[in-house]
Amino acid sequence: MSTQSIEYIISITSQDRIGIVYEISSALAELAGNIADSRQSVMCGYYTMILRASFPEAVTRKMIEAKLAEVDQKSSTPLNILVNSIDGPLTSSDNLENRYVLTASGADQIGFVARVAGFCVKHQINILDLSTTLSHGEFVMMLEVDLSRCTSINGVRTALVDFGRENHLRVVLQHHDIFKAVNEISLPIRPKREQ
């Protein structure tokens, strides 16, 4: 690989079928693209993938789009593909000090997710990961969140109590470490934190 390379974020959604990953990754390899990171998920038979790949400077965004469009044409299911170049430095979500898990549960209702997400916006909470499920007949929303931009974690806690009461939700905010501690082999003990 040349030392000069450009990074792209590529996302693909499609109805799920065998061969999507093979076709996409082969096409990227033909353009000398190096996949650095990827995630995929399937929900109700619908497939989605996001990946980060770097290409030599000579490979332009248009070339990548054209290559992937070829894959789409040959595909038995339509592929929705988006290619974005990464501008500026890569941001990492490795700030483990301030990573918390917020769970909100209550009756399934229109606007549930929006309300919780609205709370996060109001308190400068960045959502790193989000999943929802039904448990014991209740709608449960689980968010991995970064609180490093909050001015006061205690302030968030207080606001959360009010938020839960007003919206008839049970909300719990817990540091991410407790989940690692009870579910993983190694104990997440780091040097003393800054208060």
List helix spans (H) across the chain.
20-30, 61-74, 112-122, 153-167, 176-183
Q: Does 187 bind another protein (CB under 8 A)?
A: yes
* Beta pairing class for 79-85 and 170-175: unpaired
Q: Does 19 bind another protein (CB under 8 A)?
A: no
Q: What angle do CA 145, 110, 169 make, to 5 degrees?
A: 55
Contacts (Cβ under 8 Å, ≥6 apart) of 118: none
**Shortest CB 190 distance to another protein, Å:** 9
Q: Of the two residues 6 and 128, which places its CB atom closer to another protein in the complex? A: 128
- Pick the binder of another protein from 41, 95, 109, 174 (CB under 8 A): 174
For the four alpha carbons of 159, 165, 166 and 169, in that order, the dihedral sign comes to positive
- Pick the binder of another protein from 122, 149, 157, 165 (CB under 8 A): 157
In Å, what is the CA distance from 80 to each residue of 15, 62, 168, 183?
10, 16, 38, 36
- Region for 108 from its dihedrals, namely left if φ exceeds 0, alpha if ψ lies in -120 to 50, beta otherwise: beta
Q: Of the two residues 31 and 140, which places its CB atom closer to another protein in the complex? A: 140
Q: Does 177 bind another protein (CB under 8 A)?
A: yes
* Beta pairing class for 138-146 and 126-135: antiparallel
Q: How many Å apart are CA 126 and CA 180, to the nearest integer?
A: 20
Whether the CB-CB separation of 134 and 105 falls below 8 Å is answered with no
- Pick the binder of another protein from 9, 31, 140, 159 (CB under 8 A): 140
Q: Applying CB under 8 A, which part among 19-27, 75-83, 112-120, 179-187 lies near another protein?
A: 179-187
Q: Does 48 bind another protein (CB under 8 A)?
A: no
Q: Does 183 bind another protein (CB under 8 A)?
A: yes
**Shortest CB 151 distance to another protein, Å:** 17
Q: Does 161 bind another protein (CB under 8 A)?
A: no
Site mask, another protein, residues 87-126, x = CB under 8 A?
A: --------------x-x-----------------------
What is the contact surface with another protein in residues (CB under 8 A)? Answer: 101, 103, 129, 131, 133, 135, 140, 142, 144, 157, 170, 172-183, 187-189, 192
